[in-house]
Structure 1
């Protein structure tokens, strides 16, 4: 009997005992070891390598990884490879000694320069996840919150990220999501989205003009990773009845300066 078969058999026996334990450990123990394997240097890692490093059967590894991807702790990189997801990066930033203050300072300076709400989000699969929000100085509050996942094609940060992805990957994402409508202004056709992304690439930032939520207007820019691939983005958010499109676009220099400063920290 192979090691994998032995682990599967032991896990089946554990399920018969109520699913609490197995030769690979409790569900929590397995999840923690899988997270450690995903976060190990040299990632993104193949499914088989994660399975071997965590000593968890293949079926359980795949199931746990699917749940971790759904929750944003792990990111599916394609070709059966998995890397660190936005929520795990955010958790790391919270407990890290030097980064949080630097990130907070950059976001706070952008919020003070614009007087508007500021969001920091990381990219994970077909969505972005907000990991930081600074409220506006204006007498209104948006519905967004830390931990919320939002579509790529309807948000300023999401469109900025889409503009930086390889064309083949962009087509796959558009095909997978179907570009669902959230407001009457949402871009719902591949042709309309691609025309918008060409504009984003040309000017370096994206605009969400009531495409995700009525009366909400945002400007967003992507944060590039080590190889230039977007890992997330920052947005400045306001309401249409207080700030015009021309006025919010004037925040672009401050926004782009913030994304450049955040890049080495993320």
Structure 2
């Protein structure tokens, strides 16, 4: 017998089904369109819509009779966003990643067209990696997480980055031309992860995966870094499984639909 306190409330579940469907459709909907789309009877849909209208979350245009979500959701979203400390959410996952892989784990975001490291957990075989300490910055084009963040860039933004920051060389492996960087980004977009194979520092290899928010935008990334004799090609798949599992869990907490 189910505990009365843990049984799912079907009315609440249906309300959120309506909200999420209206949000996904991105256009005002008539009652029949909405009820058909979510598979609820019109009477049930109308009852729930009326409750949402009474609370100011849904608006009905009196001329078209179509329903829309209101900007009240923006106020709630802004409130949640302002109180959300992403670094705190990520930290426990970095600990788990470092423990499972034995490598140093990182969390970084973009700021002023540079990569900024916000958290790091030292691995068993930790080495001093000069560009990857908390608060330090690294170039987007030469770092695993940085290249993931470049997937957000349009052609004009990418050209602006090159004009403003350049594509400086750090090792023989650094991508220093627009053509090579563009090819790398296309590859990353298809495979869903990025590598820094001795592009920032000789002898250091990195595997990075993205963190996405509710809009699907890449807002940062997590990665592991270690020496080339620690992060070997035959270990990539196992490391990626751990990283992707963590990134999906973090992204889901930020509202991203997997």
Report the TM-score when normalising by structure 2: 0.61
* C-alpha spacing 1:195/1:250, structure 2 compared with 1 (3 Å): farther
Per the alignment, residue 232 of structure 1 pairs with: 220
The alignment's C-alpha RMSD in Å is: 2.5
Per the alignment, residue 176 of structure 1 pairs with: 164
Q: Distance in 2 between matches of 1:170 and 1:216?
A: 26
Gaps of 5+ in 1: 1-88
Larger Rg: 2
Please say if residues 214 and 254 of structure 2, whose CA atoms lie closer than 8 Å, have aligned partners that are also in contact. no
Per the alignment, residue 135 of structure 1 pairs with: 122
Flag as ranges the 4+ runs of structure 1 deviating above 6 A. none
Per the alignment, residue 148 of structure 2 pairs with: 160
Please say if residues 213 and 254 of structure 2, whose CA atoms lie closer than 8 Å, have aligned partners that are also in contact. no
Please say if residues 117 and 135 of structure 2, whose CA atoms lie closer than 8 Å, have aligned partners that are also in contact. yes
Per the alignment, residue 96 of structure 2 pairs with: 109
Deviation, 1:163, is 2.2
SS state at 1:214 partner: coil
Report the TM-score when normalising by structure 1: 0.59
Identify which of 202, 217, 220 aligns with 1:214. 202
Deviation, 1:244, is 1.6
Deviation, 1:240, is 0.8
What do the CA deviations read for 1:65-84 (whole angstroms, capped 9, x no partner)? xxxxxxxxxxxxxxxxxxxx
* C-alpha spacing 1:139/1:208, structure 2 compared with 1 (3 Å): closer
What do the CA deviations read for 1:63-102 (whole angstroms, capped 9, x no partner)? xxxxxxxxxxxxxxxxxxxxxxxxxx9x9739xxxx72x4
Per the alignment, residue 179 of structure 2 pairs with: 191
Per the alignment, residue 93 of structure 1 pairs with: 85
Please say if residues 164 and 201 of structure 1, whose CA atoms lie closer than 8 Å, have aligned partners that are also in contact. no
Gaps of 5+ in 2: 1-80
